[in-house]
Structure 1
Amino acid sequence: MTDPAGTGTSSSTSPTYAATLDAADPLAAFRSEFVGAESSLVYFDGNSLGRPLAVTGERLRAFVDEAWGGRLIRGWDEGWYDLPLRLGDEIARVCLGAAPGQTTVGDSTTVLLYKLVRAAVDARPGRDEIVIDSDNFPTDRYIVEGIAAERGLTVRWIPVEHDSGVDVEQVREAVGDRTAVVVLSQVAYRSGHLADVEAITPVVQDAGALVVWDLCHSVGSVPVELDRWGVDLAVGCTYKYLNGGPGSPAFAYVAQRHLDGSAGPALRQPIQGWMGHADPFLMGPGYQPSGGIRRFISGTPAVVGMLAMQDMLDLVDRAGMDAVRAKSRDLTSYAVDLADAWLAEHGVTVASPRDPDLRGGHVTLRHDRMREVTAALWERDVIPDYRDPGGLRIGLSPLSTSYAEVHAGMAAVRDVLAGGGASRAAQEHILSGP
C-alpha cells in the first residue's frame, strides 16, 4: 500500500507500522464509539454484520420507555407512518447521491429485489430475457430465476469467475432487444470487485432495458451517485456498513422518472399492501397505488428495525463518504500487503482485485484449507467469514476497524495456516452471514 502516515518505511509487518497508521488516521477516533471495539477481539466481518454503536442502546431504551411505552399507538401519527420515507431520504442523502422522494426503507433485500425486478419486467412488455451474472449473490440469482419462471421469461447468464466481476463489455454483449431488465451488484459479494455503475448503466438503457443495482456490499463503504449516474432502480441492506443490526430492513430506490411516468408508465410494484395504497386508512375496495415512492411499501413497516441505522447514518455523515472510502482503500490495501508478506508462502492467493480502484470494502483470500482456518480463527476470537470455493473473506468496516486490528488478525491467519486447525465440530458450526 501507499504510506499514508508518512512513516518512510515499507515494513508493513511491524506492529509499530500499524500503530503509526492508526496515529495518522483522521477517522481513528470514531472507533471508540462502537460496542466491543475496546476488546481484543478482531472483527473481520463488518461487511456481513456491523458492530453496534454504544449510543444505539440508549436509543432503543428510550424508544421502549417513551415512544412505544408512553405514546403507544399515537406513535403512528407522530412519526412512525412516515419513517420509511424519512429514513430513506437520509440514506439517499448520506450514502446514495440521490434526491429526496425516491428511496424507502422496509422489507428484506430479497422482498425488495422481487418488487423491483418484477416491476421492471412488467414495464418492458414484449421483452423476454432477464440478464444477470453467474456469480451474483444467491438471493439475486434465485429471485431472477423465480420471476423468469413466473412470467415465462429466459435468464441470460453473464459468466463471471469467482475472483473477478462484471465489466461493461460483458454487459454490452449480453443485452439486446429481448432484454427486459439487468440485475447486477456494485460490489461482488465473493471477490469484492467494484463494478463501473456509471459506464454499465447507459449500456443497459441504450438497449431499451432497465437495470437494478444491488448495493448491499457497497452502501456505506463505497460512494454512490445514483442520480448522477442515471440509475433506474437499486436495492440494498442496512446491517452491513450501515450497522442497522441483524435483519434490519433494506432500502429500495426508484428513480423519479419511473415514479411520475415521465419515462413511460409509472412502475407498479407487485405486492399490493395497504400501506402502499393512495389512502391507506380508507380501507375501501380495490387497490389504488400511492403516488411517489410510497407505492413500493406493502405492509406495516418495522419501526424497531429502523432505529439502529439512524445512529450509523449520523456517524457516516460526520465522517463523510469520501473519507470513509479513502480509509477503506487503505485498510484493504494493508490486508493485501500482509497477505503477500505472510500468507503467500503457505499457498494463499488474493482472490480480489489488487487495484484498490476496482475493489470494494473486503478482500478474499483463497486456500483449500480456509474453511478449517476460519473455524480455528473463530475459536481465537478472530472473526472473518468463509465463502466457497476456499475463500476467507476479510470485511473491513472503515469507521470501526483499526490498522492494529488488521495486523493482529492477519497474523492470526498466518499462525493458523502454519500450525493446527480447528476441530471438526467447530468447522461444522461456521455460519456465513450475507
Structure 2
Amino acid sequence: MRSAEELDLADPLSNLREQFDLPADKIYLDGNSLGALSKGVKQALAQTVDKEWGTDLIESWNSHDWIDAPERVGNKIAALIGAYEGEVLCCDNLSINLFKCLAAGLEIQAPKTRILVEATHFPTDNYMAQGLSALLGEERCSVEAVAVCDLMTTDFSDVAILSLSHVDYKTGELRNLPSITAQAQQAGALVIWDLAHSAGVIDVDLNNHNVDMAVGCTYKFLNAGPGAPGYLFIAKRHQQARNSLPGWMGHADRFAFEADYRPADSIRRFLTGTQSVLALSAAEAALSLFDRTSIGQIRTKSLALSDYFLSELNKHSATKPISVLTPRDLSSRGSQVSLKLDHAFSVSQALIARGVIVDFREPDIVRFGFSPLYTRFDDCHRAVITLADILDTGAYLDSQFNLRKTVT
C-alpha cells in the first residue's frame, strides 16, 4: 500500500480540507459524532446574525426567506440521500422526527399495531417507539426488539413498521438497505431508516430502493454544528398521513391564524413550531460544500481511509491483536472503525490527551470516524502510531485517564 503522504497527494478531495477550521495540534477522527466547523458556516452565521437579524430584523422572514428554510435545506439533504425535492424537511431533531414518522406510519398501516425495532438501535430510536406505545396503549401500538441478524428469517406479515439504523452506531456495520426494505415491504410492513451515520458518506439512494420514511441528523457527517437540526424523509406516496404533532408551521395557511388545524398539502404538514433560523443557516452553508464533490467520490475515499487505518493497525505489535468490530467487507462497512479494547475508556482519554480526538462507547469500544471532506491519510497514520505507543507503554493506566466527565 502507498504511504500516507502519497495517498494524500493523490486525493481528489484534499482541497476541501482547506474549507474547514481545524486545530493544527489535533487529529480529528470524531466526525461521526460531531462534524468539524467549516469556514462557510462561520461566514453564514455572521451574515445571518449581523445583517439579516441585526439590520433587517423581522423583515428577514420574507426578504431572506427564513420562512421556507426547512424545505429549502431539506431539498439540499434530499440530493444527498436519493430523495426528490419536496420529500425532506430539515427541522426539530432526529428523535422528534422519528416520533412523527412512527405515528404517521401506524396510521397508514392500520389496523396493524406491531412495531419491530432493532435490538441494537441507538437508544433514542427505541425510546421514541416505547413512548408512542405508552401514549397509545399496547393494544394500539406494541413494540418488540429483534436482532438485525434475524431479520432475513422474520415473518413481517403482521408487522406495521420496521425501524432500524442504516449503520450501527457502535460497530460501524452497514446494513443491506435494499434487501431488508424489499423483504419487509413484500410482507406488508412499512420501513423507517435512521440515516444518522450514513448520510453524507454513503450513497443511500432512498427512492431507488422504495424506502418509505427515514430520519437523520445534520451535526455528524453533514457538519452543521452541535445541536444542528434533524430531518425527516417521507416518500410522496405517504405524505397525506397525519402529523401527530401538528403546529402552526404545518398549517395550510399559517398566517390566517384559524382556530382549527388544516394540514398543508405537502411535506410541510410535518413541521410543528417555529424552527431555529440560526441552526438552519449553519446547516445550509455546511451542505453547500457537498456541491463541490459527489457521494461516489466521498464513499470511495471513506473506504480507502478505513482500509488504510486497518492496514496500519497490522504494522504494530501492540495494535495487531486488537479486536476490530467493524466489518472488513467493504459493502458492510460505514465510515468508522470500532475497536474493542480492554480499558477502552482510559485508552480513548489517553488518545485525546495526545491530540487524537476519538470517542468511547460502552462497554469497551473506541470509535475512529473518517470524514472524507477533511480527514487525511496522514491523520490515520499518526493516530495508529499514537495508539500503538499508548498500548505499548501502558500510558493509559495513569489514573487521570479513568476520570469520567458528563459526556464520553
Provide the TM-score with structure 1 as the length reference.
Answer: 0.89
SS in 2 for 1:234: strand
Task: Kindly provide the CA deviation profile for residues 383-431 of structure 1, in whole angstroms up to 9, marking residues without a partner as x.
Answer: 1001122110000101110001111111111111112116545433355
SS in 2 for 1:392: strand
- The reply to whether residue 294 of structure 1 matches residue 268 of structure 2 is yes
Distance 1:432 1:196, change over 3 A: farther
What are the ranges of 5 or more consecutive residues in structure 1 without an aligned counterpart? 8-16, 160-165, 260-265
The residue type equivalent to 1:361 in the other structure is S
2:69 aligns with: 83
Task: Kindly provide the CA deviation profile for residues 252-281 of structure 1, in whole angstroms up to 9, marking residues without a partner as x.
Answer: 10000111xxxxxx2111001110111111
Match 1:120 to one of 105, 122, 125 = 105
Distance 1:276 1:411, change over 3 A: same
CA contact (8 A) 2:314 2:320 kept: no
- The reply to whether residue 145 of structure 1 matches residue 130 of structure 2 is yes
2:404 aligns with: 429
Q: CA shift at 1:172, angstroms?
A: 3.8
1:262 aligns with: none
The residue type equivalent to 2:355 in the other structure is D
Measured in 2, the distance between the counterparts of 1:343 and 1:107 equals 47
Measured in 2, the distance between the counterparts of 1:156 and 1:177 equals 14
Q: Tell me the matched-pair count.
A: 403
Q: CA shift at 1:341, angstroms?
A: 2.6
Measured in 2, the distance between the counterparts of 1:424 and 1:235 equals 40
Matches within 5 A, 1:342-353: 342=316, 347-353=321-327
The residue type equivalent to 1:122 in the other structure is E
Distance 1:345 1:294, change over 3 A: closer
Measured in 2, the distance between the counterparts of 1:291 and 1:340 equals 56
Provide the TM-score with structure 2 as the length reference.
Answer: 0.95
The residue type equivalent to 1:182 in the other structure is L
Q: CA shift at 1:297, angstroms?
A: 0.2
CA contact (8 A) 1:384 1:395 kept: yes
SS in 1 for 2:310: helix
SS in 2 for 1:386: strand
- The reply to whether residue 184 of structure 1 matches residue 164 of structure 2 is yes
Measured in 2, the distance between the counterparts of 1:143 and 1:188 equals 18
Measured in 1, the distance between the counterparts of 2:153 and 2:230 equals 31
Measured in 1, the distance between the counterparts of 2:252 and 2:70 equals 16
Measured in 1, the distance between the counterparts of 2:262 and 2:203 equals 36
- The reply to whether residue 51 of structure 1 matches residue 36 of structure 2 is yes
Measured in 2, the distance between the counterparts of 1:365 and 1:343 equals 15
Matches within 5 A, 1:199-278: 199-259=179-239, 266-278=240-252
The residue type equivalent to 1:403 in the other structure is F
Distance 1:32 1:183, change over 3 A: same
CA contact (8 A) 1:375 1:430 kept: no
SS in 2 for 1:189: coil
Measured in 2, the distance between the counterparts of 1:199 and 1:232 equals 14
1:162 aligns with: none
- The reply to whether residue 312 of structure 1 matches residue 286 of structure 2 is yes
Structure 1 residue runs of 4+, over 6 Å off? none
1:20 aligns with: 6
RMSD: 1.6
Match 1:134 to one of 104, 119, 138 = 119
Q: Give the % identical residues.
A: 36
Measured in 2, the distance between the counterparts of 1:282 and 1:69 equals 28
What are the ranges of 5 or more consecutive residues in structure 2 without an aligned counterpart? none
1:329 aligns with: 303
CA contact (8 A) 1:370 1:386 kept: yes
Measured in 2, the distance between the counterparts of 1:336 and 1:346 equals 9
* Greater mean deviation of Cα atoms: 411-420 or 101-110: 411-420
Match 1:157 to one of 134, 141, 145 = 145
Task: Kindly provide the CA deviation profile for residues 355-407 of structure 1, in whole angstroms up to 9, marking residues without a partner as x.
Answer: 12210100101112111101111111111001122110000101110001111
CA contact (8 A) 1:89 1:102 kept: yes
SS in 2 for 1:182: strand
- The reply to whether residue 386 of structure 1 matches residue 360 of structure 2 is yes
* Greater mean deviation of Cα atoms: 57-66 or 39-48: 57-66
1:364 aligns with: 338
